[in-house]
Amino acid sequence: MKRPDAALDLAANAALVGAAVLLVLRPRLVARVVNSPLLPKTRDVAVAAARALVPAAPPPLPWHVSKARELSRLIAQYSPARLAAARELTKKAGRRLNGSAALLAFSVLADSAVEHYRGSFANRAMYTPLVTSALTLGGSLFGMADARPKKHSARDAIYAAAAATGLGGLCFHAYNILKRPGGLSWNNLFYAAPIGAPFALALAGLLGRGAERVRDVPPRQRPTVLGMPAGRTLAAVAAAGLAGTIGEAALLHFRGAFQNPAMVLPVTVPPVAAALLGAAVARPTLKANRLARWWLRITALLGLGGVGFHIFGVSRAMGGWRNWSQNLLNGPPLPAPPSFTGLALAGLAALSLMEDETDG
């Protein structure tokens, strides 16, 4: 068995080399042979092969048979098994959304704890996001563990508080920027309270609210958020959240002069994911969904990889990790990149819901 294989291999390679040499030395000859009208065109061959392989369309079914099939499809769609499956899907999607809210809340908790400590808690309101994000994290973890397909009023209230705190935080941070000398200047956008940060807490609240809506669907109904199909609404929220997070990464990586080439990644990969997610919201097709799904997965991984890059960034500053009390505060923030992961996971859960919405 071995020898014929080796001989075939040798012959194939010799033919390949011969073809290559011929292409280089006698290109005109090759072109004339290939374009010869005596040879069949590649396209014609492919079309003929496809025609031969695909079976002919079946003859139309008799009237009673087609109606019976239609009826059986409807029965299947409203069968208890199908309903249970749909319910299982929304429950699962709800728990996944709880999970992404948990990740975002963790990111906000760690980031605001470090940055507000650095800000010496100069304003008493700076304790608020610590409390709400800790509650959101706890509630979301509870939501992930909770198998009941029901919304939970305490969780729902916590998520509402998180959204309100996030929006309030945006106002506080805008005030902090505007009250400084120079007002709305690049310097203040770089070094005053980061305008994008509270946005993450608002998103955790919104996604959490969405999760509770999705979990709490009466039988035979599709989950809705704000009167629209839940999947599409939440996908739109995730896409907008990604856009905001990209904006913050772009601002701060620009401040860092993109000194490491990897700093370009969060302003190139997530925008594609956000755009594809937005496109899937605008025009949901199976193909668009699949493409968006892959870019969202890459974005989720990038969020985790970003922590690694930021750990490396801290080690590169003077004194490295031994000088952590300086570099952890002044270096790249470790808790920031997982925001991308949280939003990408939310986008993936929303896409699952959307697929269920479109195929029935």
Partner 1 sequence: MADRYPGYDVLAKRNSPSWNDQTRAVIDRRMALDPQHHAFFSDAEWPTMRAICDRIVPQPPNRLHPAPVAAMVDEKLHHNSGDGYRDARLPSMRDAWRRALAAIDAEATSRYGRRFHELGALLQDDLLKAIQSGEVDEKRWGDMPAKIFFEKRLLHDVVSAYYGHPAAWNEIGFGGPASPRGYVRMYFDRRDPWEAAEARPGREDKARAENARVG
Chain residues that interact with partner 1, rule: CB under 8 A: 118-120, 122, 191, 318-319, 322-326, 329-330
DSSP structural state of residue 122: -
Query: What is the smallest separation between the CB atom of 191 and partner 1, expressed in angstroms?
Result: 8
What b/e readout covers 89-125, taking b as 16+ CB neighbours within 10 angstroms? bbbbbbbbbbbbbbbbbbbbbbbbbebbeeeeeeeee
Q: Which of 203, 343, 201, 197 is nearest to 273 (CA)?
A: 343
Query: What is the smallest separation between the CB atom of 217 and partner 1, expressed in angstroms?
Result: 48
Indicate the burial class of 37 (C-beta count within 10 angstroms; 0-12, 13-18, 19 or more). exposed
141 contacts: CB under 8 Å, gap ≥ 6: 102
Helix (H) or strand (E) segment spanning residue 40? none
Query: What is the smallest separation between the CB atom of 188 and partner 1, expressed in angstroms?
Result: 11
Query: What is the smallest separation between the CB atom of 332 and partner 1, expressed in angstroms?
Result: 14
Is the CB of 195 or the CB of 203 nearer to partner 1? 195
Is the CB of 120 or the CB of 153 nearer to partner 1? 120
Is the CB of 67 or the CB of 118 nearer to partner 1? 118
Is the CB of 119 or the CB of 308 nearer to partner 1? 119
Is the CB of 36 or the CB of 120 nearer to partner 1? 120
With tokens 């969904």, the residue in question is 289
Q: Which two tokens stand for residue 89?
A: 């899907």
Query: What is the smallest separation between the CB atom of 325 and partner 1, expressed in angstroms?
Result: 6
What b/e readout covers 242-266, taking b as 16+ CB neighbours within 10 angstroms? bbbbbebbbbbbeeeeeeeeebebb
- d(CA 344, CA 101) in angstroms, rounded, equals 11
Is the CB of 27 or the CB of 319 nearer to partner 1? 319
Query: What is the smallest separation between the CB atom of 323 and partner 1, expressed in angstroms?
Result: 5
